Structure 1
């Protein structure tokens, strides 16, 4: 089931559309009428708006879709555990069904941060719906249960303690309210973004607005306590589609020196480093990222072939 609000005859990046997935409302936007299908998947705590400077540019040569994952943005935020589990397997199924029901064909999947894990999960469990994968500063999942050897003693002891404390609802709710303020969000962004002029009031507002949902705290706590699921290298080993990796060299959370190992996997077609860019290249350096993505996708799928397919 698809409902659109407000009504529009032409696909527009500014129109919020809604699709029902397993009874839950999923928000998405689309733009562009010809070319290969591209689906954009945000990172933790973000939403469709994080692609605001990418959708119009990519839509010149591609049919572009961006969605709010279940639990984020304007999508439904069902109670964790009781109604749904917020795992990469859940989001992978969601993304594959989105390609089937809304896109209507296999697509190039582009992710940022944890969105990279989501698109790789989709590509490994539902390869028939994925033509290629783009990773923008993939989450390395450095606090995963399988990585004790790479963690300091403080992290090995402190992370589980904090996760257990957050599981106490009043504590989790209080912690979330302290984070979901303009001042705190600004400080986090200034740490994540090397190009700090990109940290604008517009960006802060688009990240804070979904946090006003009464269930946003529950989703935040559920994922913060999630240290299981796939590691990126486990998914990379299973990928069979071409993969582009783009990395902001100044990422304080996902170190470039660790990400370099991605180049050793056969699925990785190209590894691009962006100097002077942090954790969110698509928003910090949109012109560079848009050009890299468009060139790579159209090299794989010549425009003449996609135009012919779109007209069928």
Structure 2
């Protein structure tokens, strides 16, 4: 049974642009109305009683949060995975191992405000999933008919990373679609994952099962248009600009002052590398695969769900249902925070990570 905590205080996935196109402009989903079990059958399960705990903003004063020690050095390294070069960042010499997993269109730099702080008492690794950041971006059309950029692929990559690089069990700290990657990895090999924190996990509202029957042909047609005609590359070119990236980030960050030039550059620059457009188009046409509500019942380790309640892409009204699954020990709402709390409000997220890990860690120096 999850405890629901509200933390009162003083993001990024490009497929949400398509979600907005389909669901808001074409009115194909119920996001403009209260969630119901008719539109979302997984909400119809009998809810378990919850304890609600409110934490006053005075208890989370950002001015009192200790900054990262200047002695913490963050290193960038490359790892060879099945012949592909994978970029990751690491810091910290002792303590439990954490692996930070970014969302769609992002990379390990999206954790730049978290790595040095967490590394003071943990061994921290942040990975660029294959296809993103400065990891290789193989053309999916050259890899056979089966989809390559899937949660199964990324889950396998994450578990292999823990085996080859971390060399230890690890906590998975995940944002957006990274949450599905972490859950998929935890289900695929329960011996590797100690616990999972999902932060504004993707609801996957473009999944075929979450769209009404009358909207599915339109979605499939538009996805085929993007993937199989020059329209897709043109669409990507309109998105992969500094102005567009900033506008998208300002949609999903409630505190838009956190959308800095540094952040825009961190997201945009690797997205301009060769192969990025093919990965982008492949994933936005990926309407199958696992859903959070399918993975959560299979997870054997503790899970914490964190949710910025001003997320315009993943409504907290739908996200609260994830707190009812047995592995979930806490559902923590962050009022006034958007889709990427780890970057928008790191002074709130970092202590939550430390607390979660402290409850379940087996220390290894």
Same fold, judged at TM 0.5 (above):
yes
Query: Are residue 226 (structure 1) and residue 286 (structure 2) matched?
Result: yes
Query: How many angstroms apart in 1 are the aligned matches of 2:121 and 2:267?
Result: 28
List per-residue Cα deviations over 1:141-192 (Å, max 9, x = no partner): 011011124x8x5x54542222011112422111101000011111111110
Matching of residues 96-245 of structure 1 within 5 Å: 96-149=159-212, 155-245=215-305
Query: How many angstroms apart in 2 are the aligned matches of 1:282 and 1:127?
Result: 25
Q: Secondary structure at the match of 2:98?
A: strand
Query: How many angstroms apart in 2 are the aligned matches of 1:83 and 1:158?
Result: 27
- Given the two structures, how large is their TM-score scaled by the length of structure 1? 0.91
Query: How many angstroms apart in 1 are the aligned matches of 2:333 and 2:101?
Result: 20
Q: Is the 8 A contact 2:72 2:116 kept in 1?
A: no
1:82 Cα deviation from its structure 2 partner: 2.1
Aligned CA-pair RMSD: 1.5
State which of 281, 290, 293 in structure 1 corresponds to 2:350.
290
Could you say which residue in structure 1 is the equivalent of 2:54?
none
Query: How many angstroms apart in 2 are the aligned matches of 1:26 and 1:110?
Result: 18
Tell me: CA distance 1:28–1:209, structure 2 relative to 1, closer, same or farther (3 Å).
same
Q: 5+ unaligned residues in a row in structure 1: which ranges?
A: 1-9
Structure number with greater CO (CA < 8 Å, separation at least 6) is 2
Q: 5+ unaligned residues in a row in structure 2: which ranges?
A: 1-70
Matching of residues 63-82 of structure 1 within 5 Å: 63-82=123-142
Matching of residues 233-312 of structure 1 within 5 Å: 233-301=293-361, 306=363, 309-310=364-365
State which of 61, 72, 77 in structure 2 corresponds to 1:17.
77
Which structure has more helix as a fraction of its residues? 1
Q: Is the 8 A contact 1:116 1:139 kept in 2?
A: yes
Counting matched residue pairs gives: 292
Could you say which residue in structure 1 is the equivalent of 2:51?
none
Could you say which residue in structure 1 is the equivalent of 2:7?
none
Query: How many angstroms apart in 1 are the aligned matches of 2:253 and 2:210?
Result: 26
- Given the two structures, how large is their TM-score scaled by the length of structure 2? 0.78
